[in-house]
Amino acid sequence: MVPTLETARLRLRALREGDLDVHAALLGDPETVRFLGGQIATREEAWRKLLSGCGMWAILGFGYWTVEDKADGTYLGQLGFADFKRGMTPSIEGLPEMGWMLAAHAQGKGIATEAARGALAWADEALPGREIVAIIDEANVASIRVAEKAGFRRREPATYKDAPILIFRR
């Protein structure tokens, strides 16, 4: 049910139980979660998030992938689409929201941009005509660059959990 996507260097594949420990390490890294609410996750919380990523495919027809190095299978992070029913202004409920999170060793190498472009190519076929959004902390310069390189053009201020955030639209 979850399509496997490939780019020049990457494989985007279904999340699986064996991803738990590397996913928990990713969510347990304070630097990784700095712009994602700032709270590190326990292994249990990481497991619940992994299950959530899997469940979205069954309910929404889209969800998250594990991003891995195509050459050696190294776990690099996660990327995909969700509808978290966020209580924010303006509302993005009902729109596929793109997000990405990479391990420190994978950052700064164009991996997020490459994976995002691959996933957006899939979305253009699987979700034709749908507006895709991404929300990014205004201080997260690296993710803003990824969004812009991946084709997100419109940027607008928003409020989420009583804090400012930027919505990018594609």
Average pLDDT over residues 9-38: 91
User: Between 35 and 111, where is the model more confident?
Assistant: 111
Share above pLDDT 70 across residues of the chain, in percent, rounded to a whole number: 100
pLDDT exceeds cutoff 80 at 165: yes
| pTM, two decimal places | 0.94
Number of domains forming the structure of the chain: 1
Domain that residue 132 falls in: 5-169
Q: Residue 146's CB: how many other CB atoms inside 10 A?
A: 26
Q: Give strand pairing partners of 34.
A: none
Question: What is the Cα–Cα distance from 2 to 154, expressed in whole angstroms?
Answer: 29
Q: Assign residue 154 the CATH number of its domain.
A: 3.40.630.30
CA distances from 42 to 63, 76, 92, 122, 140 (A): 22, 19, 28, 32, 23
pLDDT, residue 19, reads 95
- What pLDDT, on the 0 to 100 scale, is given for residue 85? 96
Q: For 57-83, how does the pLDDT look when each residue is reduced to its tens digit (9 = 90+)?
A: 999 999 999 999 999 999 999 999 999
Give the mean pLDDT of 120-134.
Answer: 97
The pLDDT of 10-21, averaged and rounded, is 96
